[in-house]
Amino acid sequence: MGRRNRREALGPFNRNDKTTNDMTFIADLTTDELQDLIKRTITEALQTQQPRWVKGIPGIMEIYACSESTAKRIKRSGSIDKAIRQQGRTFMVNATLALQLFGGKTGKHINS
């Protein structure tokens, strides 16, 4: 019958429909396909790693959908201290981390 070439024998990559899957060998990708794969992977990684920062008491109010007095009480309690970066009187809160630390209640306006 003849010997099958490497692509037929090993690669699940179908050149006719230009699709890749988890079993596609890197060696079977064209330069453009590899560049697209790398760009998509980097973009997805950067989007998932970017923390959402909110400013001050209004930010805490937004995260937890609570009143100003409750937001002040949450900050004073120290339960979200790991999510707070403060310089002088100004502070920023990492919204994603604050939600994890305080138990996961989400505000209605949070976009994370």
pLDDT one-digit tens code per residue, 36-80: 989 988 888 777 767 789 999 999 999 999 999 999 999 999 889
Nearest Cα to Cα of residue 58 among 46, 72, 48: 72
pLDDT one-digit tens code per residue, 2-17: 555 544 544 444 444 4
Q: How far are the Cα atoms of 5, 12, 48, 70 from residue 2, in angstroms, in the given order?
A: 9, 20, 49, 76
